[in-house]
């Protein structure tokens, strides 16, 4: 769907992107991750043809991207704005037509989306009269109104209450099911885990990791397991020998716990289960995967620490 | 292209929907009409008396001019040549306030010269002009007895009197129509400044509320800038049309209802001017009753409205593009709206300088500096208006087209340069603009 090859971009002496290549498949939600100033926004602007790369190419559906493809892209920038004195109706109509939709088609789509997001009653209001959340909804509608094949969202959940965050998430999942491709740039790692299929991590202008969410997590797993059991906590601890380390525990009830254990040496999950069986009543046991937050910190922080040294 | 049109249509709609647009479209021309009315009514009520010596070397006027019993002007004739220096210092000439030089050429080139000791007010200037013009009409009609009155009116051209201070003859005070030209020029610059600031604010606002990023994902920066300049320009143009319509209708109303007996050559039978003294007395009294209307004559008779308005619109459009591009570039390169205000200051100086150039041309129309201002794109819209109303000499008509071409080329160049600044500056946020940035952005394509 979108092939970004060897993109480099500098602003005078500052390198914003250094030889970044990413491949995004049709019908996936793709996370674009990285600390502030990593170069994500520059990459998004290059995809949107707002800035030109110094080097490299962007291919859209197999062909070199041109301005003709812009009508197939929906874009919700992080620092988003609307014309404050314009009505919701006129704003959406203007932006829909700017993306190449006819007036008739734009109006039809406006009816659909405004209904879906409960904005219909606010159509005749000026943007400055809306609450921040309502304005955010309008912005989201304006980005998806022209039914783009590729939707680029930069921090789409910021400013939304939890209910609206869920609404947007569900919408993105539905769009993915309808074959749309979505690039999601966010610092909200929980939502990355929840809805992204794959992700790339950019740090200091370079790509440092790319893959499916589970692959990224697997690559950073640290051999930690969780055991949910019924019985005595003392019995649990006594059963373990020096090859295991208890990290922490959650108390579920009078004699029910979840305990997280880290392996030491050559010990495996099988060894853990062997020593515990007969001592406590195991209800469940599973391998703990690192959260995307942990993956993010793990990938970014060592480099920063090394840089500091 | 389509997107540029959408952008310009949005800008246009936003401007004409604003209350300020509607109020300025109506109150602005009403204010101008009010000023014109005041000038019509009170503009020339000075009681000053003028003693004018006419140096008529060829005895063209035959020692006659419009009725000699005018209270305001007393004419004396001298059928010889008087140099300006003699008139300035000669003892026998001290009783005269002004020297009016007339020779055979005035019948063809329609330009006469007046050297004054103390600058006369506009009313006095018009009065002398009127008297001489009517006398010349008599002479012309006598010489061309076969010509019909209608044909005569067709070929008739208004007389231009160049006023100069006798002690400083190089300082030529303009004829009245020149002031009208300056008015048109100043009007151009007032509109350019007003709508230029609208461009700047609009660009800065889009930048500060960050919608520019959404727009740039659909249109190129140049398309965005051109669309914006065009849209705001159309609204300015529309406002102009309102002004022209309202002022035109107002002048027509004044002519028909408030000042119906104004000095209008077409209402006068030229042959009746060559009549006996009793009739002359009637003409004079008739004139005296209406002579407070000299501004009316200026407005209705001397300004060639069609010509002026055509060139006015052309120079307005080009001047607007030239300065509009500059305003857009400033809006795009600044980090914030208040930052932009600082950069507007040099532009205001430039606009003031252009107006001064117009005033300078009014006073020194033949100076070489005026010629420079006439072609300089920063000043040409106002200077050309002044020159146009003063009248180009025979064979000098090409100058206006040359100035037009210079301004057109400069406007295109300015749009290219501003487009580059706009493109490179529009996505820079929260920075302090330095000249080095501007040079960098100019170098970068």
Residue of B211, B424, B441 for testing the chain A interface, max A β-carbons within 10 Å: B211
Q: How far apart are CA B38 and CA B254, in angstroms?
A: 12
Predicted confidence at residue B412, as pLDDT, reads: 92
Q: Chain B within 8 Å of A81 (Cβ-Cβ)?
A: yes
Confidence of residue B194 (pLDDT cuts 50, 70, 90): confident
* CB-CB under 8 Å, B216 with A50: yes
Residue in B3, B210, B429 nearest the CB of A98: B3
Q: How far apart are CA B44 and CA B126, in angstroms?
A: 10
Q: Chain B within 8 Å of A308 (Cβ-Cβ)?
A: no
**Domains within chain B, CATH numbers bracketed:** 2-36+178-443 (no CATH), 50-156 (3.40.190.10)
The four Cα atoms B194, B197, B201, B207 give a dihedral, to 10 degrees, of 140
Q: How far apart are CA B309 and CA B303, in angstroms?
A: 10
Predicted confidence at residue A175, as pLDDT, reads: 92
By CA distance, what is A140's nearest residue in B? B214
The 3-state DSSP class for residue B159 equals coil
How confident is the model over B223-251, as a mean pLDDT? 88
Q: How far apart are CA A134 and CA A121, in angstroms?
A: 11
Q: How far apart are CA A75 and CA A65, in angstroms?
A: 16
Burial of A38 (0-12, 13-18, 19+ CB in 10 A): buried
Q: Chain B within 8 Å of A49 (Cβ-Cβ)?
A: yes
Of residues B70, B64, B93, the one with CA closest to residue B167? B93
The 3-state DSSP class for residue B55 equals strand
Residues 134-173 of A with CB under 8 A from B: 142-143
User: Can you give the pTM of this predicted structure?
Assistant: 0.71
Predicted confidence at residue B432, as pLDDT, reads: 64
Mean pLDDT rounded to a whole number for chain B: 76
List residues bridging with B440 in a β-sheet: none
How confident is the model over B59-77, as a mean pLDDT? 74
Closest chain A C-alpha to B234 CA, distance in angstroms: 19
Predicted confidence at residue B271, as pLDDT, reads: 36
By CA distance, what is A68's nearest residue in B? B218
How confident is the model over A145-158, as a mean pLDDT? 89
The 3-state DSSP class for residue B30 equals helix
* CB-CB under 8 Å, B217 with A48: yes
How confident is the model over B124-139, as a mean pLDDT? 78
* CB-CB under 8 Å, A94 with B10: yes
Cα dist. B103→B81, B85, B173, B392 in Å? 10, 19, 20, 20
Confidence of residue A93 (pLDDT cuts 50, 70, 90): very high
Confidence of residue A219 (pLDDT cuts 50, 70, 90): confident
Q: How far apart are CA A171 and CA A112, in angstroms?
A: 13
A and B: number of Cβ contacts within 8 A: 59
Predicted confidence at residue B386, as pLDDT, reads: 82
Q: Which two tokens stand for residue A73?
A: 């892209």
Confidence of residue A284 (pLDDT cuts 50, 70, 90): very high
Tens-digit pLDDT profile for residues B381-392: 888 888 887 777
Please answer whether residues A32 and A197 qualify as being in contact, where contact means their C-beta atoms are separated by less than 8 angstroms. no
Confidence of residue B417 (pLDDT cuts 50, 70, 90): confident
| Weakest-pLDDT range from A292-301, B81-90, B300-309 | B300-309
% of chain B at pLDDT higher than 90: 5
Predicted confidence at residue B267, as pLDDT, reads: 38
* CB-CB under 8 Å, B211 with A81: yes
Which residue numbers of B have CB closer than 8 Å to A's CBs? 3, 6-7, 10, 14, 206, 209-220, 427, 429, 440
Q: How far apart are CA B68 and CA B73, in angstroms?
A: 8
Strands across the sheet containing A29-33: A73-76, A150-154, A181-185, A29-33, A198-203, A206-212
pLDDT higher than 80, residue B277: no
**Angle formed at CA A50 by CA A48 and CA A52, multiple of 5 degrees:** 100
Q: Which residues of B fall within a CB distance of 8 Å from A48?
A: 216-217
Strands across the sheet containing A256-263: A244-251, A256-263, A224-230, A281-288
Cα dist. A266→A223, A246, A274, B218 in Å? 11, 16, 14, 58
Pairing of the two strands A55-60 and A244-251: unpaired
Q: How far apart are CA A295 and CA A212, in angstroms?
A: 13
Of residues A48, A36, A61, A46, the one with CA closest to residue A11? A46
pLDDT higher than 70, residue B171: no
Tens-digit pLDDT profile for residues A75-92: 988 876 888 888 999 989
B174 secondary structure, DSSP code: P
Closest chain A C-alpha to B187 CA, distance in angstroms: 29
The single residue listed with the structure tokens 């461009």 is B199
pLDDT higher than 60, residue B174: no
Predicted confidence at residue B156, as pLDDT, reads: 64
By CA distance, what is B208's nearest residue in A? A81
Mean pLDDT rounded to a whole number for chain A: 87
Q: How far apart are CA B375 and CA A69, in angstroms?
A: 45
* CB-CB under 8 Å, A83 with B211: yes
Predicted confidence at residue A89, as pLDDT, reads: 93
Of residues B74, B63, B73, B140, the one with CA closest to residue B102? B63
pLDDT higher than 80, residue B41: no
Confidence of residue B279 (pLDDT cuts 50, 70, 90): very low
Helix (H) or strand (E) holding A75, with range, is strand A73-76
pLDDT higher than 90, residue B231: yes
- Where helices occur in A117-181 by DSSP H, the ranges are 132-144, 162-177
The maximal CA–CA distance of chain B, rounded, in angstroms, is 83
Phi, psi of A225 (to 5 degrees): -125, 155
Please answer whether residues B175 and B125 qualify as being in contact, where contact means their C-beta atoms are separated by less than 8 angstroms. yes
Closest chain B C-alpha to A121 CA, distance in angstroms: 23
Residue of A98, A145, A159 for testing the chain B interface, max B β-carbons within 10 Å: A98
Q: How far apart are CA B296 and CA B299, in angstroms?
A: 5
Predicted confidence at residue B288, as pLDDT, reads: 40
* CB-CB under 8 Å, B14 with A77: no
């Amino acid at each position: 769907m979108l092939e970004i090859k060897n993109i480099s971009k500098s602003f005078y002496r500052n390198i914003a992107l250094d030889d970044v290549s990413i491949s995004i498949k049709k019908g996936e939600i793709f996370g674009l991750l990285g600390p502030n100033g990593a170069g994500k926004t520059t990459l998004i602007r290059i995809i949107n043809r707002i800035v030109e790369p110094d080097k490299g190419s962007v291919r859209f559906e197999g062909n070199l991207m041109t301005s003709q493809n812009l009508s197939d892209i929906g874009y919700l920038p992080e620092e988003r704005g609307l014309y404050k004195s314009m009505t919701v109706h006129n704003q959406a109509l203007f932006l829909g037509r700017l993306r190449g939709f006819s007036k008739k088609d734009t109006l039809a789509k406006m009816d659909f989306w405004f209904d879906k997001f409960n904005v219909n009653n606010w159509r005749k209001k000026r943007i400055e009269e809306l609450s921040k959340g309502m304005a955010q909804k309008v912005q989201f509608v304006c980005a998806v109104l022209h039914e783009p094949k590729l939707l680029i969202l930069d921090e789409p959940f910021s400013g939304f209450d939890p209910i609206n965050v869920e609404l947007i998430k569900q919408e993105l999942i539905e769009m993915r099911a309808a074959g749309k491709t979505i690039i999601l740039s966010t610092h909200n790692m929980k939502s990355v885990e929840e809805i992204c299929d794959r992700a790339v991590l950019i740090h200091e202008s370079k790509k440092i990791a790319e893959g499916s969410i589970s692959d990224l997590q697997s690559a950073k797993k640290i051999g930690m397991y969780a055991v949910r059991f019924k019985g005595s906590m003392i019995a649990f601890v006594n059963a373990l020998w020096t090859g295991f380390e208890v990290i922490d525990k959650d108390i579920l009830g009078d004699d029910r716990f979840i305990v997280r254990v880290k392996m030491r040496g050559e010990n495996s999950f099988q060894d853990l289960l062997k020593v515990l069986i007969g001592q406590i009543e195991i209800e469940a046991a599973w391998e703990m995967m690192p959260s995307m937050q942990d993956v993010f910190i793990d990938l970014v922080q060592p480099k920063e620490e090394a840089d500091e040294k | 292209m389509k997107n540029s049109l959408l952008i310009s249509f949005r800008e246009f709609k936003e401007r004409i929907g604003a209350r300020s647009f509607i109020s300025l479209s109506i109150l602005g021309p009403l204010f101008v009409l009010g000023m014109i009315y005041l000038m019509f009514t009170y503009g020339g009520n000075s009681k000053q008396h003028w003693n004018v010596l006419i140096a008529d070397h060829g005895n063209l006027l035959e020692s006659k001019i419009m009725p000699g019993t005018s209270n305001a002007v007393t004419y004396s004739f001298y059928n010889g040549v008087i140099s300006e220096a003699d008139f300035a210092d000669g003892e026998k000439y001290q009783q005269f306030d002004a020297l009016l030089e007339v020779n055979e050429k005035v019948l063809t080139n329609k330009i006469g010269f007046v050297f004054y000791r103390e600058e006369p007010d506009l009313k006095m200037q018009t009065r002398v002009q009127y008297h001489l013009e009517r006398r010349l009409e008599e002479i012309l009609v006598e010489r061309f007895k076969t010509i019909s009155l209608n044909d005569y009116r067709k070929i008739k051209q208004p007389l231009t009197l160049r006023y100069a201070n006798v002690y400083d003859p190089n300082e030529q005070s303009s004829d009245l129509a020149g002031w009208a030209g300056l008015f048109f020029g100043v009007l151009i610059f007032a509109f350019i400044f007003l709508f230029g600031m609208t461009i700047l604010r609009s660009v800065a606002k889009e930048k500060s509320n960050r919608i520019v990023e959404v727009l740039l994902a659909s249109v190129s920066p140049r398309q965005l800038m051109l669309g914006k300049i065009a849209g705001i320009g159309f609204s300015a143009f529309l406002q102009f049309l309102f002004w022209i319509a309202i002022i035109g209708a107002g002048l027509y109303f004044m002519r028909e209802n408030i000042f119906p007996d104004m000095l209008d050559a077409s209402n006068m039978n030229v042959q009746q001017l060559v009549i006996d003294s009793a009739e002359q007395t009637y003409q004079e009294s008739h004139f005296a009753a209406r002579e407070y209307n000299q501004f009316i004559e200026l407005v209705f008779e001397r300004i060639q409205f069609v010509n002026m308005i055509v060139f006015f619109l052309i120079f307005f459009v080009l001047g607007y593009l030239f300065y509009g591009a500059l305003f857009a570039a400033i809006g795009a390169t600044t980090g914030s709206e208040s930052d932009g205000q600082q950069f507007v200051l040099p532009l205001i100086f430039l606009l003031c300088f252009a107006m001064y150039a117009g005033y300078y041309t009014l006073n020194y129309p033949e100076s070489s500096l005026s010629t420079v201002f006439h072609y300089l794109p920063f000043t040409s819209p106002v200077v050309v208006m002044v020159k146009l109303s003063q009248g180009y000499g025979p064979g000098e008509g090409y100058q206006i087209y040359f100035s037009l071409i210079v301004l057109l080329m400069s406007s295109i160049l300015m749009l290219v340069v501003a487009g580059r600044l706009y493109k490179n500056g529009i996505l820079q946020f929260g920075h302090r603009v330095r000249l080095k940035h501007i040079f960098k952005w100019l170098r970068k394509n």
